[in-house]
Structure 1
Amino acid sequence: MKKFDLRNIRIRKVSVDDLDDRMLLLNLYGTQALTFIIGLIWVLFQRQNVIHLFAFPKEAAFLWWGAGLAGAVILVDLLIARFVPEEASDDGGVNERIFRNRPVWHIAVISFVVSVCEELLFRGAVQHAIGPYWTSIAFAAIHVRYLRHWIPTGLVFSISYGLGYIYLETGSIWAPIIAHFIIDFVMGLIIKFRRES
């Protein structure tokens, strides 16, 4: 039996184009699972009640806050796509690869998983500890694929700050989850159907 040697492990930079579809999805769901676990542990260490955090509010105002922010973000994103050169808002083709060939139901599943996992960590845990401004800086930093260009970096920071703001206004994590879901789902559909046509 061969002995395992840590010195034989080589780390190399991998482009999104180097990943096949299966590995791309494993990476996506794996990072979201890790995000959810870290967020859940952090929330528990803060002695927050997870059931209370995910409780639906009695009033429906959180729906309007979430849908309103999502609508504003989508409008701004479409304006940027219309008037800004594509290379200035390039994410390295990651979103294209994730959404291009997915069926609509899978785009919805991806959008829901990402919105719940990221909002648990960033709004539920990080924002509770350091506030919306620094949370937005951290949120923009983990979306590393956008950091090469200032327009998408600024947009991600602004979206995160908006998500933090509606979380504070409504007192419900469901407002940013709904906004995040609608943004990802609609943008995923735009990528899918723009390519199909």
Structure 2
Amino acid sequence: MKKFDPRNIRVRKVNVDEIDDRMLLINLYATQALTLIIGIIWILFQRQNLFSLLAIPNELNFLYWGAGLAAAVIAVDLLISRWVPEEAADDGGVNDRIFRKRPVWHIVLIAFIVAICEELLFRGAVQHAIGPYWTSIVFATIHVRYLRHWIPTGLVFSISYGLGWIYEQSGTLWAPIAAHFIIDLVMGLIIRFRRES
């Protein structure tokens, strides 16, 4: 039997083009599952009631907050993509690989899972502990693929701060979840149906 030696573990940077589609999806869903688990544990350690945090409000005002922020983010993103060179907003091709050949139902599923998992962790747990500004710094840092360029880093920080702000204004986690879902869904569909120039 071969003995395990942790000194033989080698870590190297992997380019997104080196990962096949199946492994990319496994990575995506595994990181979202980890995000969800960390969020739930953190919320429970904060002695927050998970069920009241995820309770759907009786009034639909949260949809106005979510749709309003999503519309503003999508408009800004489309303007940036129109006027800023593509290499200045490059994420390394990850979003293109995730959404380009995905069926519409799968884009909807990905957007929904990401919105629930990330908002539960970042708005439900992290923001409760350190506030919207520092949460946005953590959120931007976690989205490491954007850190190579200041425009996407600033955009991710601003989106996160906006999500935190509408969470505080609406009083429900479903406002940032709705916004996050709409943003990811629309941007995923744009990537999916974008014509190559």
Same-fold call, TM cutoff 0.5 = yes
Query: In the TM superposition, what are the counterparts of 1:1-197 in structure 2 within 5 Å?
Result: 1-195=1-195
**Can you list the C-alpha shifts for 1:77-128, whole angstroms capped at 9, x where unaligned?**
0000001110110000000000001000000010001000000000000000
Code of the residue aligned with 1:188 in structure 2: it is G
Q: Cα distance, 1:11 vs. partner?
A: 1.4
In 1: Cα distance, 2:140 partner to 2:67 partner: 21
* Secondary structure class of the residue paired with 1:102: coil
Q: Whole-Å Cα distance in 2 between the matches of residues 128 and 160 of structure 1?
A: 14
Structure 2, unaligned runs of 5 or more: none
Q: Aligned Cα RMSD in Å?
A: 1.1
Distance across 2 between alignment mates of 1:136 and 1:121: 12
Query: 1:135 and 1:2 mapped to 2: Cα distance?
Result: 44
Q: Which ranges of 4 or more aligned residues in structure 1 deviate by more than 6 Å? A: none
- Note the alpha carbon deviations across 1:62-81, whole angstroms, 9 max, x for none: 00000010001000000000
Deviation digits for residues 131-177 of structure 1 (CA, Å, limit 9, x no counterpart): 00000010001011111111101100000000000000111000000
* Inter-partner Cα distance in structure 2 for 1:18 and 1:161: 33
CA distance in 2, matches of 1:144, 1:7: 26
Give, in whole Å, the separation in 2 of the partners of 1:163 and 1:3.
Answer: 48
Q: TM-score of the superposition, structure 1-length normalised?
A: 0.97
Looking at structure 2, the residues matched to 122 and 8 of structure 1 have their Cα atoms a distance apart, in angstroms, of: 35
CA distance in 1, matches of 2:105, 2:2: 45
Counterpart-to-counterpart distance in 2, 1:127 and 1:7:
37
Consecutive unaligned residues of structure 1, counting only runs of 5 or more, are none
Q: CA separation in 1, counterparts of 2:160 and 2:72? A: 13
Residue 195 of structure 1: how far off its partner (Å):
4.3
CA deviations over 1:28-74 (Å, ceiling 9, x no partner):
00111100000000000000000000001111110000001000100
Residue identity (%):
78
C-alpha distance in 1 between matches for 2:9 and 2:138: 30
User: Aligned partner of 1:180: which letter?
Assistant: H
State the AA in 1 paired with 2:143.
H
Please tell me the residue identity of whatever aligns with 1:138. V
